[in-house]
């Protein structure tokens, strides 16, 4: 089976959808499929053919600064598929890229389309764009649409997509990569990452921008500092203006970064909040941390929360109905709260900071939850089955599944009180 993955971004560019695409591709190759990737790149040095962990990648210039340049990106994606469609049995598009859908239609190549983010590529949002009716005609040409969360699934139902045209499959993680580690290994990781021995480590992963809620995080940390005696440090892993000059040329993100710096200075938090920039070893940060915080305002299904849960971390997340509250059940794996309320956000974090045994209990359930529902190997098996149905033009069955996990004893043996 020959599959072409398409995406706006792909590793090494930083994007949750890019990482999910890459991880799924690797698992599908292990299952015997041939997988290639067609994607955009903002960095001209990345253009052309490349290989990432054995996956062939073709990159075209993704420049959306003007309508004409944006159209050129779409044209390059469209032209590639027209020229090479006979090499593939199926296209799997991560997100809605109209030229990809059009090329799949004209070449009669079966198309599976994944929804990656609420308010970005869900059918309700696409319908309300300029030329929305035309875009929806292309949207519906996908043989199957994949929502990852309850909320994204509801957007498919609202717009009356045919019931058989969408089936829900979550994002997944490799539980052997994202896992709790033995106490001694954890201490070594903390020293490697320069986390003080007498500090709790609070971690968040995401780009430093408004949508990811980094301003809410800073305000909550400022509130937390007033009410706890225990020492802690906050690690922010992801691209940002403070490290590596992320967002150069993007005035909105640039202004956001400057305002965030100002707030950090006013609240005397420079020694408390540490911006790590883009890191390839996110799994090590997860294994070294004590609590994971997810302040994001906009998501589809956040990979970082699943990764943190698999790593045995209790979670505090901003409430996004049908998204974060589906992953994190209050009092079981962590807490979902109104992140815009500084005191409420800080209070949820404070409960975990002050209670070692509670962190252990929530961490244990978090690990169990990911093993049961978000094991990437099992999800890749479901995709392979789905692809077979689509290629053979057969009805697509529900992809709901229960996944076997490791024993509770094994989980408890690996998770230590933070």
pLDDT digits (tens, 9 = 90+) for 386-399: 999 999 998 886 65
Q: In angstroms, what CA-CA distances link 187 with 210, 285, 393, 410?
A: 33, 12, 53, 20
Tell me what pLDDT residue 274 has: 95
Would you put residue 383 in left (φ > 0), alpha (ψ -120 to 50) or beta? alpha
Tell me what pLDDT residue 403 has: 41
CA distance 378 to 191: 35
CA distance 195 to 406: 30
Tell me what pLDDT residue 245 has: 34
Q: Give bridge partners of residue 49 from the DSSP assignment.
A: 58
Tell me what pLDDT residue 8 has: 93
Tell me what pLDDT residue 400 has: 53
Q: What is the pTM of this model?
A: 0.89
Tell me what pLDDT residue 179 has: 95
Tell me what pLDDT residue 250 has: 61
Q: Report all structural domains of the chain as residue ranges with CATH numbers, in order of start.
A: 2-168 (3.40.50.2000), 183-372 (3.40.50.2000)
Residues in the chain with pLDDT < 70? 159-160, 162-164, 241-250, 397-418
Tell me what pLDDT residue 33 has: 98
Tell me what pLDDT residue 414 has: 55
């Amino acid at each position: 089976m020959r599959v072409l993955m398409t995406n706006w971004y792909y590793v090494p560019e930083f994007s949750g959808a890019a990482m999910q695409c890459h991880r799924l591709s690797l698992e599908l190759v292990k299952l015997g499929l041939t997988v290639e990737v067609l994607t955009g790149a903002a960095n001209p040095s990345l253009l052309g053919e490349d290989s990432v962990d054995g996956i062939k990648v073709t990159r075209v210039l993704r420049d959306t600064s003007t309508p004409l340049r944006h159209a050129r990106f779409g044209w390059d994606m469209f032209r590639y598929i027209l020229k090479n469609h006979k090499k593939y049995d199926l296209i799997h598009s991560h997100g809605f890229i109209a030229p990809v859908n059009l090329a799949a239609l004209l070449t009669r190549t079966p198309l599976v389309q994944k929804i990656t983010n609420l308010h970005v590529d869900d059918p309700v949002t696409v319908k309300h764009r300029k030329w929305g009716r035309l875009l929806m005609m292309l949207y519906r040409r996908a043989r199957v649409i994949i929502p990852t969360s309850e909320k994204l699934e509801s957007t498919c139902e609202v717009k009356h997509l045919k019931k058989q045209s969408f089936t829900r499959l979550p994002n997944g993680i490799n539980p052997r990569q994202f896992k709790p580690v033995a106490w001694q290994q954890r201490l070594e990781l903390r020293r490697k990452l320069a986390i003080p021995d007498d500090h709790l480590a609070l971690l968040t992963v995401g780009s430093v921008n408004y949508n990811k809620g980094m301003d809410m995080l800073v305000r909550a940390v400022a509130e937390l500092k007033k009410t706890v005696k225990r020492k802690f440090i906050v690690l922010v892993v992801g691209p940002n203006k403070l490290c590596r000059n992320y967002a150069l040329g993007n005035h909105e993100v640039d202004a956001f970064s400057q305002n965030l710096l100002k707030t950090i200075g006013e609240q005397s938090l420079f020694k408390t909040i540490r911006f790590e920039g883009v890191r390839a070893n996110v799994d090590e940060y997860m294994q070294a941390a004590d609590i994971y915080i997810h302040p994001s305002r906009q998501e589809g299904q956040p990979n970082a929360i699943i990764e943190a849960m698999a790593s045995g971390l209790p979670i505090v997340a901003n409430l996004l109905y049908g998204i974060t509250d589906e992953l994190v059940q209050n009092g079981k794996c962590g807490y979902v709260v109104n992140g815009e309320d500084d005191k409420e956000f800080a209070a949820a974090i404070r409960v975990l900071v002050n209670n070692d045994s509670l962190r252990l209990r929530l961490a244990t359930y978090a690990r169990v939850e990911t093993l049961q529902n978000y094991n990437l190997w099992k999800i890749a098996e479901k995709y392979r089955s789905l692809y077979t149905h689509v290629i053979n033009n057969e009805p697509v069955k529900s992809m709901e599944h229960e996944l076997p996990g490791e024993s509770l004893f094994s989980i408890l043996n690996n998770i230590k009180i933070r």
